[in-house]
Amino acid sequence: DDLDQIVTLPLEPGVELRFVTNPSEMETMLEYVNQGNLSQYADNAFVDELIAWLRFNKKDALAVMDGLYSVCSGNPEVPRWLGQMFVAGTKPQQQSDIDAKKLRSSAGAVLVASEADDKSSWVRTGQVYERLALKMTSLNLQSAFLNQPIEVTNLRGQFQSAMNLGSSLPQLLLRYGHAPSFPRSLRRSVDEVLI
């Protein structure tokens, strides 16, 4: 019933949702998530940027009111130095194994794809994602990004072909399902970010 409500979401011109629940397709998707992890975690610049965006404890999160608060992904609060050491020491295959377990335990995945890859397509993709996320939240469904095969440039086209998207370009990849809620990352108020 939940999936029936989600698949009827209004879309934007040139943007489509592709739901994947077939175990064989999920495994194909997982192969590309795995390759993306292997590529990203072997890239020092990626790891450095990830560390810069992580907030390893409440004090860090409250100080900046943005970023990725570690408890939101089920990780414990730790001092920043310890969190940095842990993330910097993550082996690519470790992250791949974690993501494989998460994807296999999900009810399904959804690809948000667009006909073009320009700024207006990105905005329309964001609008569709926003509707999708809000609808999932209203149905008490949890979702999480697994964008690795889209973020790694040389994998994106291969992923597009493997997922039979035709000429549509993958923009976002999410897994979803019923799960306990985690705390949400902190965000600054609208007044603080308006120019």
Give residue-wise pLDDT tens across range 21-57.
Answer: 999 999 999 999 999 999 999 999 999 999 999 999 9
- Which tokens is 115 given? 């006909």
For the chain, what is the mean pLDDT?
93
Q: How many residues does the chain have?
A: 195
Beta carbons within 8 Å of 187's beta carbon, 6+ residues apart: 65, 66
Which long-range contacts (C-beta less than 8 Å, at least 24 apart) are formed by 80-83? 80/56, 82/56, 83/51, 83/54, 83/56, 83/57
Using the CB atoms, write b or e for 39-52: b if 16+ within 10 Å.
Answer: bbbeeeeebeebbe
Residue-wise pLDDT tens digits, 69-121: 999 888 899 999 999 999 999 888 888 999 999 999 999 999 999 999 999 99
For 137, the token pair is: 């939240």
The single-letter DSSP state of residue 147 is -
Q: Phi and psi of 119, rounded to 5°?
A: -60, -40
| φ, ψ of residue 107 in degrees (nearest 5) | -70, -30
